[in-house]
Chain A
Amino acid sequence: MGNSHHILVLFAHPALEKSRVNRYLIRAIQGLDAVTIHDLYETYPDFHIDVKFEQNLLLSHDIIVFQHPFYWYSSPAMLKEWQDLVLEHGFAYGHEGKALKGKKFLSAITTGGGKEAYCRQGYNRFTIRELLVPFEQTAVLCEMEYLPPFVVQGTHQLRQPEQLAKHAEDYRRIIQALRDDAIDWERLRQQQHLNYNLDQIILTSETSQYV
């Protein structure tokens, strides 16, 4: 096993009780060691974000995950508010703002539309990676490493519990592997999406011993 990373999952879903996929995903990583799940809508129902507390949380973790449904090509409002407030000048960016330097950033999102919708010919016209550029640039400005996103697509068509369970299992595996540093980082950086070639990215415990 490699050195252990601490993972902070900033979770934003305004109506979790109506979500199916996100509920499955969040449940899959609940209770994992060194993984902190921070449910923003549950913590700040009035949007009154405690900036100091959030900044301290960021400082005590190595990998920051934004988990949310993909609303209007972005995050739910709470997570935007969180960015506006928490990623302060002098903390996250600017001359003095080096607090997040060297940390890793991951988007874990769910989209209603399927893969085919996110390309030049599709009704969304842009790829997921293109649409996530604001997040990518945010990470880069904060001097964080931007990882390929974990994307569950076509959630409107996902009905079977087995399909949901598969995505949940993938999510748990990748989060665990990131935590344990059981990752082939070179391969990972070549991926468009994190979860299309999981087996190539994640090192099994045997191979990781020789890394």
Chain B
Amino acid sequence: MSNQGFFFQAFIYLLAAVLSVPIAKRLGLGSVLGYLLAGVIIGPFGLGFVGQEGEDVLHFAEFGVVMMLFLVGLELQPALLWRMRMPILGLGGLQVGVTAVIVGIISLLLGLSWQMALAIGLILAMSSTAIVLQTLNEKQLMRTDAGQASFAVLLFQDIAVIPILALLPLLAIKPDTAVTLATNGMILAADPAAASSLSAWQQALLVMGTMGGIIVAGRFLMRPIFRFIAATRLREIFTATALLLVIGITLAMQKVGLSPALGTFVAGVVLADNEYRHELESDIDPFKGLLLGLFFIAVGASINFNLLVQQPLLILTLVLGLAVVKFVILFVLGRFFRMELSQNLLFAFALAQGGEFAFVLFSFALQNRVLPIEVTEPLVATVALSMMLTPLLMILNDRVVQPRFTRTEPEPEADEIDDNENPVIIAGFGRFGQIVGRLLMANGCQATLLEHNPAQIELLRRFGWKVFYGDASRLDLLHSAGAKQAKLLVVAIDDPDKILDIVKLANKHFPHLKILARATDRRHAYELIRHGADVIQRETFGSALAMGTEALKLLGVRSYKAHRAAGTFKYHDEQALYEMAHLDADETALIARSRQMAEDLAQLLQSDHEELTHEVDRAWDISELRQQASGLQR
């Protein structure tokens, strides 16, 4: 590919995405449909900017799916995964099994041989991980019951691809034909040919060794490596390390004939406990997003509209038939697993399509002469169109079906989201943040901690704290720390400018978050108040006040009086703080800082003098009563 050609292509893809996705989002169609439509428009049946090479782009972009599974794994602690074993094996297994059987029977009835029918059944049982997860994430439905169930089924399918790939050659009509395999299309699924020179047990040993290697390395090796890299404080090297990790696993998986998607998923799960998880997430995320987008565009571009024009009735029947059959099976299974009706509908709508695995598996089946081209071509078109149908079905579900349920469902009493994200994010876990965090955790409130000093993290983790590496003034890191779901953000780092940056950033992007900010001094406090921090605490105020109280006590003031005097002083001082914060910001900004501080102090001393000189507690002062009593005697 010449440079010019590459840039031109990149330009076309990016332009298509940049134009169509925002429009689709604005129209409420979701980004996935936007990408797919962009693909159709620039594809061979639209403007024709993308021709046959679209196929290669599709295979390259499948890497986005691999990255997505890595990220999904990162979100999923091993314990959580273990808790999901029932839905994964039960629901996922039944979905694949039942769908394969029913689609197979339909194929048999249409006059295909049993081998072909079985192959088609298995292939069409797959749903689209990319589309479903992307759509559910975008609508923030991943944490609902339906979202979790969908994920369980998709995960099972990802695993099921491996035995299906092994099984397909056995279904070949002429089994003596040598297995030919185009290796360029095998990023997503495994490449069984790669290791076929080994005997079965060697192969099994190799597979187990590789998986074991990933787990052991992820648990014990990656932490020191990440720490070493993080200590360099070079952001791009960290990104490079993250990419290297994912690509390395992909290569290793291909080598031993396993699905890279599965491999990176496992690696993700292993690293889910790692303190660098959020950093990894935010580094990989943009790559994943772009590649997935590219993938969707490529799917859109690959839809064969010639077939649709030639046999519109056949293709449309197949698309609708596929969606209906899968929908019904999913719905019945959901019922069987006691899913609540509205969730069950969401679950069934979400997964009622063919998936990207189908492309790989169909071309694999074709090469192995399991299926003739006359069968695969319309089916590939069907799968692609059914993928396009999904966002539309989700919109239908959103706008027409779900509103019927919202009225009848009672408000839940309390959040019972079984969630690995915490309600509190504490940015900076040094001298200040630690006290906040310890108090919260001593009272059973879980917090996600962000810290950018590797030495500090190491120490804290040794004592069993969950601390993540990262600079909280980065929006993507806040995102992956769960700022969307969290209720509070405690900004406890020591750099005043950075604190202000975070407050501004969080206020802009997460307006629901209550922001508690550490203020270094009075001036800083004004700035924070003006920029919408909900709670500010001057870092030295509390302790200085306590010291003042002790001084009063040593001077002979009774403890309780000293305590109350400090309380009154605090109240008065804080009121003055807020008043002065709302004074004209422009005017104060013009005066030099040191002069300002002096003026502030003068103003404070003046008002202390005016307002604090009267008796603190008049009620306990009985002089007035005494006066009155003596007056009566007279």
Chain A positions near chain B (C-beta within 8 angstroms): 46, 48, 50-51, 84-90, 94-95
Contact = CB atoms under 8 A, between A and B. Distances in A.
Given A48-B564, A94-B625, A88 B618 contact: yes
B628 A94 contact: yes
Interface string B549-577: 00000000000000010011001000000
Contacts of B620: 84-85
B117 to A, nearest CB: 59
Contacts of B628: 89, 94-95
B625 A50 contact: no
A86 B625 contact: no
A48 B620 CA distance: 14
A163 to B, nearest CB: 21
B618 A51 contact: yes
Contacts of B617: 85
Interface in B593-634: 617-620, 622, 624-625, 628
Contacts of A90: 624
19 contacts: A46-B567, A48-B564, A48-B568, A50-B571, A51-B618, A84-B619, A84-B620, A85-B617, A86-B619, A87-B619, A88-B618, A88-B619, A89-B622, A89-B628, A90-B624, A94-B624, A94-B625, A94-B628, A95-B628
Interface in B152-185: none
A85 B568 contact: no
Contacts of A88: 618-619
Contact of B567 (A48, A84, A85, A87): A48
Contacts of B567: 46, 48
A95 B620 CA distance: 18
Interface size class on chain B is 10 to 19
Contacts of B568: 48
Interface of B: 564, 567-568, 571, 617-620, 622, 624-625, 628
Contacts of A86: 619
- A-B pairs, top 7 by smallest CB distance, nearest first, are A48-B567, A85-B619, A88-B619, A89-B625, A89-B624, A84-B619, A46-B567
Question: Which secondary structure characterizes the binding site on chain A?
Answer: loop
Contacts of A95: 628
A50 B567 CA distance: 11
A86 B567 CA distance: 17
A131 B620 CA distance: 25
A53 to B, nearest CB: 11
A106 B328 CA distance: 64
A85 B620 CA distance: 7
A87 B619 CA distance: 8
Question: Which secondary structure characterizes the binding site on chain B?
Answer: helix
A155 to B, nearest CB: 23
Contacts of A94: 624-625, 628
A126 B628 CA distance: 36
Contacts of B619: 51, 84-89
Contacts of A84: 619-620
A46 B624 CA distance: 27
Contact of A48 (B571, B618, B622, B624): B571
A89 B627 CA distance: 12
Nearest to B620: A84
B632 to A, nearest CB: 10
B554 to A, nearest CB: 22
Nearest to B568: A48
B245 to A, nearest CB: 46
A90 B622 CA distance: 11
A81 B95 CA distance: 67
A87 B618 CA distance: 11
Nearest to A94: B628
A61 to B, nearest CB: 20
A85 B615 CA distance: 13
Nearest to B624: A89
B616 to A, nearest CB: 10
A179 B395 CA distance: 51
Contacts of B625: 89, 94
Contacts of B618: 51, 88
Contacts of A89: 619, 622, 624-625, 628
Contacts of B564: 48
A91 to B, nearest CB: 9
Give the residue among B619, B620, B624, B625 with the most A Cβ atoms within 10 A. B619
A154 B89 CA distance: 53
Nearest to A90: B624
B30 to A, nearest CB: 39
A42 B14 CA distance: 55
A89 B567 CA distance: 23
A210 B619 CA distance: 46
A89 B628 CA distance: 10
A94 B619 CA distance: 13
A46 B622 CA distance: 24
A88 B624 CA distance: 10
Give the residue among A48, A86, A90, A94 with the most B Cβ atoms within 10 A. A48
A23 to B, nearest CB: 14
A48 to B, nearest CB: 4
Nearest to A48: B567
Contacts of A87: 619
A132 B567 CA distance: 32
A95 B632 CA distance: 11
Contacts of B571: 48, 50
A9 B628 CA distance: 32
B574 to A, nearest CB: 12
Given A84-B620, A89-B619, 17 more contacts: A48-B564, A48-B568, A48-B571, A51-B618, A51-B619, A84-B619, A85-B617, A85-B619, A85-B620, A86-B619, A87-B619, A88-B618, A88-B619, A89-B624, A89-B625, A89-B628, A94-B625
A45 to B, nearest CB: 11
A181 to B, nearest CB: 33
Contacts of B624: 89-90, 94
A19 B560 CA distance: 30
Nearest to A46: B567
A119 to B, nearest CB: 36
A89 B620 CA distance: 10
Nearest to A84: B619
A45 B208 CA distance: 60
A50 B568 CA distance: 9
A95 to B, nearest CB: 7
B236 to A, nearest CB: 48
A77 B13 CA distance: 71
B491 to A, nearest CB: 23
A51 B624 CA distance: 17
A167 B76 CA distance: 48
B194 to A, nearest CB: 61
A161 B46 CA distance: 66
Nearest to A83: B619
A119 B241 CA distance: 79
A51 B622 CA distance: 16
B541 to A, nearest CB: 15
Contacts of A50: 571
A187 B620 CA distance: 39
Contacts of B622: 89
A50 B619 CA distance: 12
A48 B567 CA distance: 7
A83 to B, nearest CB: 9
A46 B618 CA distance: 18
Nearest to B571: A48
A50 B574 CA distance: 14
